[in-house]
Amino acid sequence: MNITTELRYLSQSDIRLLGGDHSHAFMSAIEEGLRLHAKRQFVQPLKPYLRWPDAPHIADRIIAMPCYLGGDNPIAGIKWIGSRQHNPTKHQLPRASAVIILNDAETNYPVAILEASLISAMRTAAITGIATKYLAKENFKEVSIIGCGPIAQMQVQTLLEQYPQIMIVNLYDLNPAAADMLISQFATRFPNVHFTIQASAEAAVKCAEVLVTCTVSDAPYIPFSWLQPGCFVSNISIMDIEKDVFLKADKVIVDDWDQSNREKKVINQLVEEGLFSREQLHAELGDILTGEVGGRDNDDEIILLNPMGMAIDDIVCARWFYQAALAKDIGTRLPLF
Residues known to be catalytic: 79
What sign does the dihedral 257-285-229-215 (CA atoms) show?
positive
The CA distance from 200 to 64, in Å, is: 35
Whole-number Cα distances in Å, 281 to 35, 261, 291, 321? 19, 11, 16, 33
The residues facing 252 across adjacent strands are: 304
User: Which residue type does 319 have?
Assistant: R
What sign does the dihedral 201-204-232-188 (CA atoms) show?
negative
**227 within 8 A of 302, measured Cβ to Cβ:** yes
Give the residue among 313, 279, 251, 286 at the shortest CA–CA distance from 44.
Answer: 313
**303 within 8 A of 296, measured Cβ to Cβ:** yes
